[in-house]
Every structure is written in structure tokens, then in C-alpha cells.
A and B are shown apart, each in its own frame.
Chain A
Amino acid sequence: MSLLVNIVLLSFLVIMAIAVLRIKNLLAMAMLFGLYSLLVAGLFVVLDAPDVAFTEAAVGTGISTVLMLVTIASVRDSHEVENKGRNSSLALLLSVVMGVALMYGIHDIAELGDPTAPAHTQVAARFIESGQAETGVPNLVTAVLASYRGFDTLGEVTVVLTAGLGILLLLLRSEKPRVKGKKKDAG
């Protein structure tokens, strides 16, 4: 049953990704991107990861889409230029090569949900076994995030802060950069 839900959601995901690729109107693309994130959040619920689903639903569908819309509004350019005559066969070739290499790579990976996979028998087994006793927190994701991997999370929070500072530095400068031969405003 869960497999069927997985396959339906993943097929929708592929279709949505292709729609994002093909659509020319950038505002519609932002909407489709929000829908794509919502589907991913649904998939996380099916994969027993409610914490991640939570985050993806709030970040992908909310913040990310709004940021994309605000960017489109501020560059005042909501249509992609038709790039006729541009050869994208190299890009296609590279994507296919990457896909085939990954397909080959996952050939001997453990099947989905296999409880004897090495990923589940090493450190994760110990977290599940003694996580609550050692930290007093039943939600193991919080326990691992905050306690066992505290250093990691400190680094991630610092990255978020640094990204915010970078955006402030980029966008709060008042003088405009000058480039020779700037394209004239077509209206």
C-alpha cells in the first residue's frame, strides 16, 4: 500500500519537475515549485519522517516560494526568453550520464525498508536503543539533533546566520554597480 502511494507521489514529482523545466512564465513556475515542495512533504510523511515533512512544508511551500515570487517581482521580468537555436544536447548528455552512473551505483544498495541494511544496524541502532534513556527526550530526532550531534547543529545555525548576513551585505548597498555596455531598458 505504502509502495503504491510512494510510486504515485513520485510520478507526480517527476511530472512537476518537468513542468517546472518547460513552463515559460516564471510566476507560474514559482507556483508549480510550491506544489512540488508540498508533494515532497507528503512523501516524507509516507517515509516515516514527520519532522522533515514539517520543515519541508513550512520552508519549501512557504518561505522558498514567497522568496522566489519576491525576486521575480523585484527584477520585473516574469517571462523566460525563448532560447532558440541554443544547443542543450551537452546538458542532456551530462544529465543522462549522471543518471546512469547513479542507477549503476544503487544497484547493490539495500532495498527500500530493508531492516538489515548496514545504515540501520550501526550507530542508529544505538540511538534508538538508548537515546531516550540517555537524554530523557522521546523524540529521537530532537535527541540526535540537539545532543548527539550538537556540534553539527551549531555549525548549521551559523551557516543560516552567515547566509542572512551575506544577503544584508548584498542588498543593503545603495550605490549601483556599473558595467560597461549595460543593456538598455526595453520597457
Chain B
Amino acid sequence: MQDKLILRVVAKWLIPVIILFAFYVQFHGDYSPGGGFQAGVIFSSAFLLYSLVYGLESAIKVLPDHWLKVAACFGVLLYAGVGVVAMLMGGNFLDYSALASEPVAGQHIGIILIELGVGITVGSVMLLIFFTFARRVLPK
């Protein structure tokens, strides 16, 4: 699909908007529909579009596989880490109220952090799955 001019130009304009929207969904998910799961999937679909239009190689140059593997594990670790920190600060596992002096403020910090963890993991796992599948198509 390397020679489709219209597709390339449209994708170039569309991809930044999709990524911006993914960040909006991620960090505004407390007040409007959205959250980590949706943001991760939208973020990965931006890169999916990029690799469909510009080829797999250039997409892998932007986000190499080993980074994605590290990111996928980091998201889960961030999630579980918030729970452990809550334990260390005197609460139960994943009891965010212990994270700050005010319970509601602690809840807010905890929710934003774990949504970030969910977003990172879901986004990188979806991209990893797509790259692994797409590499199977190339040879032969």
C-alpha cells in the first residue's frame, strides 16, 4: 500500500489526532466516558493504521518489540505496585484511601495511576499481538 498518495496524506493527518484522543480518553476518563482499556485500544489502533499504510517495518522502527514487551509488563507492575504501596502505607491491598492524607484524594491518585497501568498494558499487548501476526504474512 506504499503508493497510495491519498491514503498516506490522510493517515498523516489522522494519526496525531487519534493519539491525542487516546490521551484525552485516558486522562479524562474520570469525568467522561473512557479509561485505560479504551485508551490503550485507541492508542494501538493509531499505530495499527500507521503500519497498515506505511508498512510494518517503519512502525517497528518507532516502537520496537522489546520496548513493547517491557511496557506490557510495566503496566501490570504499576497496577500491582500501587496496591503494594497502599499496603506499605497502612491500608489493605489496592486500598487507595491510604495513599494520601485525605481518603478521597488518595482514591483519585490511585485511580489515575492504575488506569495508566491498564492503558499501557492493553495498548502494548494489542500492538505486540498485531506485530507478531503481521510478521507471519511477510515471508514466502
Q: Note whether A and B contact each other (Cβ less than 8 A).
A: yes
Listed in ascending order, the chain A residues whose CB lies under 8 Å from chain B are: 50-51, 53-55, 58-59, 62-63, 66-67, 70-71, 73-74, 133-139, 141-143, 145-147, 150-151, 153-154, 157-158, 160-161, 163-164, 167-168, 171-172
How many cross-chain pairs have Cβ atoms below 8 Å apart between A and B?
137
Cross-interface CB contact of B48 among A62, A142, A172, cutoff 8 Å: A62
Cβ–Cβ < 8 Å partners of A160 in chain B: 121-122, 125
Cβ–Cβ < 8 Å partners of A135 in chain B: 104, 107-108, 111
In the complex, are the beta carbons of A70 and B34 less than 8 A apart? no
A-B contact sample (10 more), CB < 8 A, given A157-B79, A171-B133: A54-B34, A62-B41, A63-B126, A136-B107, A147-B111, A150-B96, A157-B75, A160-B122, A161-B75, A163-B129
Cβ–Cβ < 8 Å partners of A71 in chain B: 133
In the complex, are the beta carbons of A51 and B132 less than 8 A apart? no
Q: A58-B42, A135-B107, A147-B111 are in contact. Are A66 and B128 (CB under 8 A)?
A: no
In the complex, are the beta carbons of A139 and B31 less than 8 A apart? yes
Q: A74-B136, A136-B108 are in contact. Are A157 and B48 (CB under 8 A)?
A: no
| Residue tally, chain B, CB below 8 Å to A | 51
Complex alpha-carbon distance, A55 and B44, angstroms: 13
Q: A51-B33, A168-B128, A171-B132 are in contact. Are A137 and B38 (CB under 8 A)?
A: no
